[in-house]
Amino acid sequence: MKILILCTGNSCRSQMSHGFMQSFDKNLKVFSAGTKPAEKVNPMAVKVMAECGIDISQHKPKNVNIYVDEPWDYVITVCGGAMESCPTFAGKVKNRLHIGFDDPSEAVGSVEFIDSEFHRVCDEIKERFYDFYINEVKPQLK
């Protein structure tokens, strides 16, 4: 099964989602991309994922255009706030989903607050993508 997870910068939420989905089942083909990819994965995203036992330190933000000609079982957007516009994907897609999350990289305040926002969003991503895996993906793999 091929899953593409999209966000604008492909530096935080989509990378964390990618890491969790891949951790649930190593046989899934999981990719992530963005419409305006950042230069690198957000270091705080790498840190909180490492604390969960998942290494995304070698992930690199990619442009969604490299995946347009491929067929996908799922394309999932993860943008969250009303001020954000989620990318659209015009490729060959069986199922399109939106599972939105706040962008922790937009958090402002103390180091402790920013850290807590990354952990909160990471926990939400893990929970919602695990539910998606158990209820949608895993039954199709039997």
By annotation, the residues acting in catalysis are 7, 79, 86
List the one residue out of 71, 82, 87, 120 whose CA is nearest residue 5.
Answer: 87
- Please tell me the distance from the alpha carbon of residue 79 to that of residue 76, in angstroms, as a whole number: 10
Query: Which amino acid type is present at position 73?
Result: D
State the number of CA atoms in the 13 A half-sphere of 98 facing the CB: 10
- Please tell me the distance from the alpha carbon of residue 140 to that of residue 67, in angstroms, as a whole number: 23
Q: Find out whether 44 and 38 touch, Cβ atoms under 8 Å.
A: no
Q: Find out whether 79 and 86 touch, Cβ atoms under 8 Å.
A: yes
